[in-house]
Amino acid sequence: MTYRTEHDSMGDVNVSADKLWGAQTQRSLENFKIGVGTEIMPIEIIRAFGILKRSAAVVNSVMCPQKMTSQKLEYIKQACDELISGELDEHFPLVVFQTGSGTQSNMNANEVIANRANQLAGEKLLHPNDDVNMSQSSNDTFPTAMHIAARLSIEERLLPALKALISTLIRLEKENECVIKCGRTHLQDATPISFSQEISGWRASLEKDMQMIELSLPAISELALGGTAVGTGLNAPNGFDTAVAQEISCLTGYTFTSATNKFHALTSKDELVFAHGAMKALACDLMKIANDIRWLASGPRLGLGEISIPENEPGSSIMPGKVNPTQCEAVTMVAVQVMANDLAVGFSASQGNFELNVFMPVCIYNFLQSVRLLSDAIASFDKNCVSGITANKKKMSDNLNNSLMLVTALNPYIGYENSAKVAKLAYEQGITLKQACTSLGFLSEEEFDKVFKPWQMI
């Protein structure tokens, strides 16, 4: 392996000749061998840095043209475009568990962009600190990258997957409007419900979750950039913050604004806690929905068996013919992970000291993992399970007609206590509610048939 010599304020460092990073990235690689190759900085953060650095260079070229010349700008833009497109992914090896400010990942971006731009220019034109990091600090760029990555991942991955699943449930609602089944509370038989009403509960839960996630987006869209080291904006020109936010908005197609209080923006991660809380609510509802579906599909002969779900793969290495609700299991495992991640996000956000939070990498690592897992799990759940749900109408009808809780329809005519006697007698003797009611003399057969109409109970 051949090396080249890179230099920073601490001296010279040898770097593999085929890598674009510089001295500070190399020092981080050597000093933080924690989760190497697995727990690396999320690629969403790297792409966000490309957006941020490109936008900052554009604004610097307007506000500081004597420093950010048109020539420098052009090469920075080219390098950033390659970074954003994923062409430079191999040059971002740093782990999550590094400095808590994310300084080394900021410098990783600065060094890769500078070195790639210098390759394109064919000369040593750009310096990672003086040019690529112009008007910036790691303390304001990393939280800015966090917010850009969070917003884009939610908008482009999570919300589309969630909307598709909601559309599937709307279709299932329409298809099952006239299907009446037994409701259940406390895992016990309850009064009737239509299957479409049951599905509507799932759908409304997801719609509420989506609304709460969308409610979090404006706050996530406020950027710390312009606060520089401690929030005062030292070394950034006046108006730099708002101009870069506008440039990022143009580049991404989503509205970003400059945080009004940079001291808050550097040290507090409350916006991410709020957004992840909404995702945790989504995880909770997905857990409930997936559990409902696998209960309803349980069997096939000795369970509830009220719905059928797609049979995607064999379920056992020893029991031939067994098929399991594996998509439901995957969703519920993801839900558990997201709930656990919420603790990490919350604890990380609580660790702001004075003018900076130094748990930012682990905060955004867990946040973005939740977005990815939820997005992928929802899409898989929709495609491989929910879209193929069919009602087993005969089983639903049989279960409904065997339910003792249909006796609730008799309450207005014979009273609660007499209705309870009917239900108990029917259960003890294994007879129908009609047989129990008439044998106790509460109603004649004709009177019973007149008032006992389960389809009117929904």
Q: Please, what are the averages of pLDDT over each run of 10 residues along the chain (458 residues)?
A: 93 97 97 97 98 98 98 98 98 98 98 98 98 98 98 98 98 97 96 97 98 98 98 98 98 98 98 98 98 97 96 93 96 98 98 96 98 98 98 95 93 96 96 95 94 89
pLDDT at 387: 98
Alpha helices in 350-453 (DSSP H): 360-384, 393-402, 411-414, 416-429, 433-439, 445-451
Return d(Cα 244, Cα 56) in angstroms, integer: 6
Q: At CA 20, angle to CA 16 and CA 26, rounded to 5?
A: 55
Q: How many other C-beta atoms can be found within 10 angstroms of the C-beta atom of residue 292?
A: 17
Return d(Cα 95, Cα 29) in angstroms, integer: 8
Name residue, tokens 């001295």: 23
Three-state SS at 171: helix
pLDDT at 31: 97
Closest CA to 353 of 272, 259, 268: 268
Q: Give the Å distances, CA to CA, from 70 to 78, 102, 135, 311.
A: 12, 29, 17, 60
Return d(Cα 436, Cα 429) in angstroms, integer: 9
pLDDT at 416: 97
Tell me if residue 216 is catalytic.
no
Cα atoms in the Cβ-side hemisphere of radius 13 Å centred on 276: 31
Cis amide linkage into residue 300, ω under 30° from 0:
yes
Return d(Cα 240, Cα 391) in angstroms, integer: 59
Q: At CA 279, angle to CA 274 and CA 280, rounded to 5?
A: 90
Which residue ranges form the domains of the chain, and what is each CATH number? 3-134 (1.10.275.10), 150-175+190-220+263-394 (1.20.200.10), 403-456 (1.10.40.30)
Tell me if residue 186 is catalytic.
yes
Return d(Cα 203, Cα 197) in angstroms, integer: 10
The residue count for the chain: 458
The one catalytic residue in 167, 316, 350, 439 is 316
How distant is the alpha carbon of residue 202 from its chain centre?
A: 18
Show Cβ contacts of residue 156 under 8 Å, excluding neighbours closer than 6 positions.
Answer: none
pLDDT at 454: 86
pLDDT tens by residue, 356-389: 999 999 999 999 999 999 999 999 999 999 999 9
Q: Is the dihedral of CA 359, 361, 362, 367 positive or negative?
A: positive
Contact 365, 96 (CB under 8 A): yes
* Two structure tokens written together for 14: 């040898």
Closest CA to 51 of 76, 27, 74, 32: 76
The one catalytic residue in 9, 70, 186, 317 is 186
Closest CA to 45 of 371, 364, 370: 364
pLDDT at 1: 84
The pTM (predicted TM-score) of the whole model is: 0.96
